[in-house]
A and B are shown apart, each in its own frame.
Chain A
Amino acid sequence: MTKQNPDFEAKEAKPGGGLKQIFIVGPPNVGKSLIFNRLTGKNVSVSNYPGTTVEVSSGVSPNLPGFEIRDTPGAYSLIPITEEERVSREIILAHPDALFLHVVDAKNLRRMLPFTLELLELGRRVILVLNLMDEARRYGVVIDTEALGEALGIPVVATVATKGEGLDRLCAVIRDGVTALPPVPAIDYPPEVLQVLRQLVPSGTPLVPARIVSPDLLEKLPLVERTELELGLRLARQRYADGILSEVASFPAVSQTGFSSFLNRLTMNVWTAVPIALAVVYFGVYQFVGKFGAGTLVDFLENDIYETYITPPLTTFVERVIPSRTLQDLFVHDYGMFTLGLRYAVALILPIVGTFFLMFSVLEDSGYLPRLALLLDRVFKKLGLNGRAVIPIVLGFGCGTMATVVTRILETKRERIIATLLLGFAIPCSAQLGVVLAMVAQRREIFVAWLVVMGAVFMVLGMIAAKKVPGRPPVFYLEIPPLRVPRLSNVLTKTYSRMYWYFVEIFPLFLAASVVIWLGTITGVFQIVIQAIQPVVQAMGLPPEAAHSLLFGFFRRDYGAAGLFDLMNHGRLNERQIFVSVLVISLFLPCVAMFAVMQKERGWRFAVGTSAAILVTATCVGISANQILRLLGWS
C-alpha cells in the first residue's frame, strides 16, 4: 500500500555546525514547548529565526549528543492561516533532512493525524509523539502505538511530558536514528481533487498533494475552487487516518468532559465570568504586580540594595578613576549608564516585568486566557479585533514590544495592524504603569479620571481603526482547553525565558538611552529641543521642568514617567498638572524597542506614521484635558 519515496527537494540543507537538527512541530497547546524543555533540560536559549522575528528556541540535550533541538510555533497544517503558522511551514519546507517530532494531543489524535500524513507526503522523517497520554487514558482512550507505527511506517512514542513519562523512550528512538525515509502514505484522493491538482502542475509530476499545494498556488485559484480543493484533501486524509485508527485505537464516546466542572462553568457564564475577570485583574495585576512587584520589590531592590550597596561605591570609584566631570556623567550621577540605565533596568523594570510575566504564565498555563477571549470577544469586535486579541493586548500591559511580536497569532493583516496601533497608543506597559500608578494613586479622583480617559482613548481609537483600516470584519474561533492546574516548574521556565528575552532585547536600549541623553546634554542639543517644546508644555499647563521629562519620554515612556514622578515628589506639580502629565506620558510614544519591532513587523511607513499620530494625540489630549480642567476650576 505504500510506494517508495523519490528523493525530493534536495535544496539547501545546511547541517547547523555538524549537528543533526530536530524540529518539534504540531498544533498549539499540546505541550511542544514542555517536551522541548524536558529534552534540553536547562539549556534553553532563545534566538531569532533568520528572516523573521518569531522566536524559535533551540537547545541541545545531554541525552542526545550530536543533535540540535528546535521548537516551532504551533501549526495545524501546512496551509497556514496565521503568520506564526507561516513560520512553521517555512521551517518544515526549508529542512528536508531534519527529523521532525510531530507532537499531538493523544486524545485528539483523530483530528491531528492528517498533519502527520501531510509531513509524510512531503517526504520528511517523522516521529509521532502522542503527548498528554494521561488525559487520554482518563477518557478511556486506548492506542496501540506499535501497530500505529507499523501502519504509518514511522516510530510512535506515547508520552506524558508533564511527568517525564516516555521521554527516555523518545530519546532512545531518536538515538537509534531515523535514517530511512518513511513511506509516502497511499491516500485515496477523490478524482475531482486529483484533476484540479493535475491542472496546477506540469504533466508527469507525481501527484503528491502536500508537495504541490502551496499557499501561493492556492492564492491563484478562485475562492470556491480553492476551498473545494482544501476540503477534499483534508477529507481524504481524514478518511485515511480514520481507517488506520479504527484498527489500532479506540476512542470511547463521552458525554461529559472536564468541561462540566463547577469552576469551568463559572468561567464560561457571563454573569460569573465578569466578576472572576475583575478579581483576576485586581489580585493578579493590582495586588501582585502593582503592590508587590512595583511596590515592595522595587522598594527593596532600589532603595535597600541598589542605592545603598551599588550606587555610592560605584560613584566614588568612577569619580576617583575618571578625572573629567563630563566623562564621569556618562557612567554615574543623574543620568549615568550605571545610575540611570542599569538602575532602571535592574531595580525598577525587572521586578515589575518579572512579576507580570509570572502572573501571565500562570494565566496562560491554567487555560484562563481562552476563556477571557470568549468573554471579551464582543467588546473586541467593536474595535475591529476578535477575542483572540486578548493575548497580545494583555501581554501588552507587560511589555508592548513583546506583545507587538505576538500579534502574529492574529489572522488578518487588518487585525494585526489594529492591535499594533492599540498597543502603541493606549496600552501602557508594566514599567510605565508602575510609575504612573504610583503617581495617580495619590488621589482616587485622579486615578478614576485617568482610567476613564485611557479607556475612552482605547475604545475610540479602536472604533476609528475598525472603520478606517480596510479588510473583512474579524471572526472568532478558538479551541478552549480544559482548565489545568499550572505546574510550577513550567510556569517558572516560561517566566524565565520571557524575562531573558526582555533583558536581552531591552537592556542594551537602556544603556544606549543613557549614552544618548549624555551626548544630548553635553552637546547642548537637549537645551535647544527643550526650548523648542516649551510652548507645548505651557499649553498643557505644566511647569517648564516637565519639558525635560517629556524629552526623556521619547526614549522610554517610563523614563519620562519617572522624571515626572520626581517632580511630583518635589512638590512641583499640583493635582491638575499631575493628571495632565500622567495622561500625556501614558499616551506617549512607545519605547525605542517597540518602534524597532513595529518597523520590522509593519514597515517604516507604519512605524513612523503611528509614532507621529501618537505624538499628536498625546499632545492634543494633554492640552484639551488641561483646558477642560481649568474651565472646571480644578487646580
Chain B
Amino acid sequence: MICRECGTEFDEKQSEVACALCCARSHCSMVKCPNCGIEMPRPPHPLTLLKEKLFGKKNMGKAEPAPDGLCRRPGFTLSEIPEGKQVLVERFLDPAHVRKFLALGILPGMSLTVVKQNPSVLVRAGYSVFALDKALAQTVLVRKL
C-alpha cells in the first residue's frame, strides 16, 4: 500500500515495525507508515472485499471515525492506549476542549494511567480518577512511558 501522506510504498507487514512501539497494536484497525509514522486505515481483508461485492458496502472499509485532522498525526491518543498502561500527556489536539482538561488538572507533562477504555476512558492521575468520553480522549496526544 501507499502512504497517503509521504507517498512511500510499503507492505502491511513493514508497518509492524513502526507499530512495535505502540501498545495498542493487537486490536487496532490502523496501520502506520514506516517512513513518516502517519496512521491510516488497514486495507480491508480479501474476505471483506468479497462480502462487500456480494452484499454491498457496509461502511466496513472506512477508517474508524475520527474527528477532523486527528487521523493525520503521528503518535497515539489516550483512546488508543490499552488498560493498565502509563503514559505522559504531550499536548491537546483540540483547543475547544482544553478548558475541560485544565479544570480537571490534566496538563501537558503529566503522567496518567489508563484504568479502563469502556464504557468511557478512565484515567488515574495522582490520587484521582477521571472519566473522559472517547471523543475527548481522542484529543489528548500522549507518549508511552
Q: Is B107 an interface residue (CB 8 A)?
A: yes
Does A479 lie within 8 Å of B130, measured CB to CB? yes
Cβ proximity bits A227-253 to B, threshold 8 Å, 1 near / 0 not: 110110011001000000000000100
* Closest partner residue, chain B, to A235 (CB atom): B107
Does B127 lie within 8 Å of A139, measured CB to CB? yes
Which residues of B sit under 8 angstroms from A107, Cβ to Cβ?
A: 126-127
Residue from the list A139, A235, A378, A480 in contact with B129, Cβ < 8 A: A480
Cβ proximity bits A67-94 to B, threshold 8 Å, 1 near / 0 not: 0000000001101010000000000000
Which residues of A sit under 8 angstroms from B97, Cβ to Cβ?
A: 475
Which residues of B sit under 8 angstroms from A228, Cβ to Cβ?
A: 95
Q: Is A270 an interface residue (CB 8 A)?
A: yes
With A257-B129, A475-B97 given, is the CB distance from A231 to B102 under 8 Å?
Answer: yes
Which residues of B sit under 8 angstroms from A386, Cβ to Cβ?
A: 133
Does A81 lie within 8 Å of B130, measured CB to CB? no
Does A478 lie within 8 Å of B119, measured CB to CB? no
Q: Is B128 an interface residue (CB 8 A)?
A: yes
With A224-B95, A377-B119, A476-B133 given, is the CB distance from A81 to B127 under 8 Å?
Answer: no
Indicate the member of B98, B102, B107, B136 with the most A CB atoms within 10 Å. B102
Residue from the list A238, A254, A270, A477 in contact with B119, Cβ < 8 A: A270
Which residues of A sit under 8 angstroms from B98, Cβ to Cβ?
A: 227, 230-231
Among the stretches A108-116, A519-527, A569-577, the one at the interface with B is A108-116
Q: Is B24 an interface residue (CB 8 A)?
A: no
Q: Is B70 an interface residue (CB 8 A)?
A: no
Residue from the list A110, A224, A231, A475 in contact with B100, Cβ < 8 A: A475
Cβ proximity bits A104-139 to B, threshold 8 Å, 1 near / 0 not: 000110111000000000000000000000000001
Cβ < 8 Å to A, chain B residues 111-145: 115-116, 118-120, 122, 124-133, 135-136
Q: Is A223 an interface residue (CB 8 A)?
A: yes
With A111-B105, A477-B133 given, is the CB distance from A374 to B120 under 8 Å?
Answer: yes
Q: Is B104 an interface residue (CB 8 A)?
A: yes
CA of A111 to CA of B110, assembled, Å: 11
The number of residues on chain B lying at the interface, defined by a beta carbon within 8 Å of a beta carbon of chain A, is 32
CA of A482 to CA of B129, assembled, Å: 8
Does B100 lie within 8 Å of A479, measured CB to CB? no
Does A475 lie within 8 Å of B135, measured CB to CB? yes
CA of A224 to CA of B97, assembled, Å: 11
Q: A interface, by DSSP: helix, strand, loop or mixed?
A: helix
Does A223 lie within 8 Å of B100, measured CB to CB? no
Q: Is B108 an interface residue (CB 8 A)?
A: yes
Does B118 lie within 8 Å of A270, measured CB to CB? yes
With A79-B99, A230-B99 given, is the CB distance from A108 to B128 under 8 Å?
Answer: yes
Does B116 lie within 8 Å of A268, measured CB to CB? yes
With A377-B120, A476-B136, A477-B136 given, is the CB distance from A230 to B131 under 8 Å?
Answer: no
With A227-B98, A235-B107 given, is the CB distance from A257 to B131 under 8 Å?
Answer: no
CA of A374 to CA of B132, assembled, Å: 9
Q: Is B20 an interface residue (CB 8 A)?
A: no
CA of A270 to CA of B129, assembled, Å: 17
Does A268 lie within 8 Å of B122, measured CB to CB? yes
Does A377 lie within 8 Å of B133, measured CB to CB? yes
Which residues of A sit under 8 angstroms from B92, Cβ to Cβ?
A: 227, 231
Q: Is B96 an interface residue (CB 8 A)?
A: yes
Q: Is B21 an interface residue (CB 8 A)?
A: no
- Distance from B19 Cβ to chain A, minimum over Cβ atoms (Å): 27
* Closest partner residue, chain B, to A75 (CB atom): B103
Does B129 lie within 8 Å of A259, measured CB to CB? yes
* Closest partner residue, chain B, to A482 (CB atom): B129
Which residues of A sit under 8 angstroms from B120, Cβ to Cβ?
A: 374, 377, 387, 476
* Closest partner residue, chain B, to A110 (CB atom): B126
Cβ < 8 Å to B, chain A residues 257-306: 257, 259, 268, 270
CA of A393 to CA of B95, assembled, Å: 30
Does A257 lie within 8 Å of B124, measured CB to CB? yes
Which residues of B sit under 8 angstroms from A224, Cβ to Cβ?
A: 95
* B contacts, CB < 8 Å to A: 92, 95-105, 107-108, 115-116, 118-120, 122, 124-133, 135-136
A–B pairs, 18, beta carbons within 8 Å: A79-B99, A107-B126, A108-B127, A110-B105, A111-B125, A223-B96, A227-B98, A228-B95, A251-B127, A259-B115, A259-B124, A387-B133, A475-B97, A476-B132, A476-B136, A477-B132, A477-B133, A478-B130
* A contacts, CB < 8 Å to B: 76-77, 79, 81, 107-108, 110-112, 139, 141, 223-224, 226-228, 230-231, 234-235, 238, 251, 254, 257, 259, 268, 270, 370, 373-375, 377-378, 381, 386-387, 472-473, 475-480, 482
